[in-house]
Structure 1
């Protein structure tokens, strides 16, 4: 049982994209594969912007995640990605998952979500996985 669990965890962790939010400059043509657009480099480029927005005022902390998605494929798409916020010491201080659905080809979608972060100073935002799938 333990061996099966370890094998499952190793396989599941092999699909992670351990890079930061910088999008690649190339965007190869998408290929359809079992309802997914298989585009290892290009689909990530659809995440045009993903950053922290500090809206704090009058001593009240108010930090948001804001993003822009631009669908570069030829099909209506759904997007999901996992992220983490890491401080200057390398400690993860926040993480989560975001979703954007039904984005038409060529369409831009913007979104935002509040965080529980106390500061943006020294925080590095990483995207740990990113997927674009066909929307039905």
Structure 2
């Protein structure tokens, strides 16, 4: 009986991991070009039909919260859902230093954003400085949430 439960649990975990991998891989594969991150806070109005979903990412920037000699740099973002459907967002980003070297990269997610709703988020980084660092969005995708 004990072996059967482990097998069932293993199968369930593998199924969940596979589903997440397929969904995430599909969500992140729509745009391979690199674009600069939006700068500062801007006001977004409801997009006309056919407007780029990328415009929903209103702000994406580095926030240096370092103090007392301790480095503490975060990513912060604001997304406004300009579509008519509840949406999930995923985007890949990279941080490039003044020499053109990638010093960090990652993927961010924002889920279940209602039409017209604005969502904000933050995430810690491993960056040691923001001096001369530029953020680029390397892919961005909005999908309908269930």
TM-score range normalised by the length of the shorter chain? 0.7 to 0.9
Return the TM-score normalized by structure 2: 0.72
Q: Larger strand proportion, structure 1 or 2? A: 1
- 1:53 is aligned to 2:69: no
Question: Unaligned 5+ residue runs, structure 2?
Answer: 1-27
Asked if the contact 2:31–2:141 (Cα under 8 Å) also holds between the matched residues in 1, the reply is no
**Partner SS for 2:128:** coil
**Partner SS for 1:45:** helix
Asked if the contact 1:17–1:130 (Cα under 8 Å) also holds between the matched residues in 2, the reply is no
Q: Larger helix proportion, structure 1 or 2? A: 2
> How many correspondences in the alignment?
114
Equivalence for 1:135? 145
Runs of 4+ in 1 over 3 A off after TM superposition: 12-15, 25-28
CA 1:74/1:16 → structure 2, altered by over 3 Å: closer, same or farther?
A: same
Shift of 1:14: 8.4
Measured on the aligned residues, the alpha-carbon RMSD in Å equals 2.2
Q: Over residues 60-112 of structure 1, what are the superposed CA-to-partner deviations in whole Å (9 max), with x where a residue is unaligned?
A: 00000000000000000000000000000000000000000000000000000
Shift of 1:22: 3.4
Return the TM-score normalized by structure 1: 0.78
CA 1:55/1:132 → structure 2, altered by over 3 Å: closer, same or farther?
A: same
Q: Distance in 2 between matches of 1:48 and 1:78?
A: 15
**Partner SS for 2:89:** strand
CA 1:15/1:49 → structure 2, altered by over 3 Å: closer, same or farther?
A: closer
Question: Unaligned 5+ residue runs, structure 1?
Answer: 1-11, 31-40
Q: Indicate the structure (1 or 2) with the bigger Cα radius of gyration.
A: 2
Equivalence for 1:22? 38
